């Protein structure tokens, strides 16, 4: 999408801010991939300096996203006033739709994009026989909120390049624009060139029949009213640059120590020219006859500066700072060697990261609740499931890849079944309790009191 179109669509200071920020986001992605971690070297030196990049930023961003969504969240529906069979029908349709869309894979990748590019957009649209969902990174959409509510979308435009061509007239950009007009969602979609000229129109002022824009913008961190968000990569950038340079300097220093300088004193030029540096070679070192009372000698010049401990301490401190920024514990094999941790101990070890992820959930959970409700609403509008005639609640369970104590988790799930928050079928599916062969009978879960007695 060309810059002029973005400036026209958004307008004002906000549009100019979006344009400036896109360049910054491109640099953040380059840094995450490692391309943006290069630094200039002095070309006047008599050796080629090492440029070694250890991409800790990518490792930490992946670790953060993996912990948040590596174990796919469970979404369940609950309504005290609705027939259980209807709720199970809607629950099954929602689950099948999410599985068909491979939403677990999309979710964890969207988290990475959000942590790098400050925000992502969750999209819903209608395919031939199902509701589709997906995420778009911040470089592939721009949006404008309502004047009186920054959380409501007034306009959103999705776009991406269909080809890679330097000539604007030969570029092809897919563009999809949703706007709210008199309470109706209007769609315009087409193919444009790099100058913003329409090449192929697919939809023009098309009334989708929706009373909302089928998109939800998830903003990473930020302050009240922040439409841009914050990047986790930006917080790690300075430490990553210092870490790379120190590691590179260490390699160069090691090379110099492996090949120390040789110093010849009072040696004749001819003997130096004939000298062979090789294992076991005989050196015929002769004194320069022009020097009176001279005595030829040779020695190696080595640095006596011991920096190993200082370097290791500095690198460890930088690495620790980077882990602490994202609250990711550094629990590699070396750190936990010889230790055995229970589920509760591991949970305590990851407590800071759990708290950070719970903070992330304050933004992600409303988005997933919105997604679940509108998938059902759009499916009912298409006539694929019965319309929802009553209020219901969407429960999103935060699942972290921590080996919890299974018995305690099972007791908690039973309490949810007894209170009506979790359905019996959901409990049976989670714990591998199969229904009867006729497909109608179900195995009732054991009472919580009985499990306690057996435990």
Phi and psi, residue 198, nearest 5°: -70, 125
* Cβ atoms within 10 Å of 366's Cβ, excluding its own: 14
DSSP string, 149-160: -TTSEEEEEEEE
DSSP tag of 38:
-
Q: Distance between CA atoms of 335 and 165, rounded to whole angstroms?
A: 50
Q: What gap in Å lies between CA 154 and CA 177, rounded to an integer? A: 11
pLDDT tens-digit series, residues 200-250: 999 999 999 999 999 999 999 988 888 899 999 999 999 999 999 999 989
Q: How confident is the model at residue 347 (pLDDT cuts 50, 70, 90)?
A: confident
Give me the pLDDT at residue 81, please: 66
Higher pLDDT, 164 or 127: 127
pLDDT at site 434: 58
Which tens digits make up the pLDDT trace of 385-443? 988 777 889 999 999 988 766 667 788 888 888 888 888 888 887 777 755 444 444 44
pTM: 0.81
């Amino acid at each position: 999408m060309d810059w002029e179109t973005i400036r026209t669509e958004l307008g004002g200071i906000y549009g100019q801010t979006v344009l400036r920020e896109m360049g910054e986001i491109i640099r953040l992605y380059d840094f995450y991939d490692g391309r943006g971690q290069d630094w200039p070297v002095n070309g006047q030196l008599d050796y080629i300096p090492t440029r070694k990049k250890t991409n800790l930023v990518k490792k930490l961003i992946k670790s953060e996203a993996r912990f948040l969504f590596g174990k796919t969240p469970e979404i369940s529906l609950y309504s005290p006033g609705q027939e259980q069979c209807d709720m199970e029908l809607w629950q099954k349709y929602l689950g099948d739709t999410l599985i068909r869309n491979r939403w677990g894979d999309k979710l964890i990748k969207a988290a990475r994009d959000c942590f790098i590019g400050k925000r992502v957009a969750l999209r819903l649209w209608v395919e031939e026989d199902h509701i589709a969902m997906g995420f778009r990174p911040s470089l592939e959409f721009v949006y404008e909120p309502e004047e009186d509510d920054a959380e409501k979308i007034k306009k959103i435009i999705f776009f991406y390049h269909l080809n890679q061509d330097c000539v604007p007239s030969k570029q092809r950009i897919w563009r999809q624009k949703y706007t709210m007009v008199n309470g109706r969602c209007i769609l315009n979609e087409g193919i444009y060139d790099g100058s913003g000229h329409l090449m192929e129109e697919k939809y023009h002022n098309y009334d989708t029949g929706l009373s909302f824009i089928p998109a939800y913008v998830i903003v990473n961190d930020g302050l009240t009213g922040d439409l841009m968000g914050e990047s986790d990569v930006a917080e790690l950038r300075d430490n990553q640059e210092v870490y790379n340079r120190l590691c590179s300097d260490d390699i160069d220093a090691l090379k110099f120590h492996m090949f120390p300088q040789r110093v010849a004193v009072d040696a004749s030029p001819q003997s130096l020219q004939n000298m062979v540096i090789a294992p076991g070679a005989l050196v015929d070192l002769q004194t320069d006859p022009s020097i009176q009372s001279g005595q030829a000698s040779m020695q190696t010049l080595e640095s006596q500066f011991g920096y190993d401990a200082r370097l290791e301490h500095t690198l460890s401190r930088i690495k620790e700072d980077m882990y602490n920024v994202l609250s990711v514990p550094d629990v590699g094999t070396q750190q936990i060697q010889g230790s055995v941790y229970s589920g509760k101990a591991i949970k305590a070890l990851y407590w800071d990261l759990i708290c950070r992820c719970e903070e992330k959930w304050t933004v992600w959970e409303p988005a997933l609740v919105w997604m679940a409700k509108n998938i059902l609403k759009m499916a009912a509008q298409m006539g694929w499931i019965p319309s929802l005639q009553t209020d219901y609640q969407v429960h999103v369970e935060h699942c972290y890849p921590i080996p919890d104590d299974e018995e305690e988790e099972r007791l908690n799930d039973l309490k949810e079944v007894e209170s009506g928050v979790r359905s019996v079928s959901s409990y049976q599916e989670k714990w591998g309790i199969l229904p009867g062969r006729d497909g109608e009978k179900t195995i009732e879960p054991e009472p919580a009191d009985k499990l306690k007695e057996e435990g």
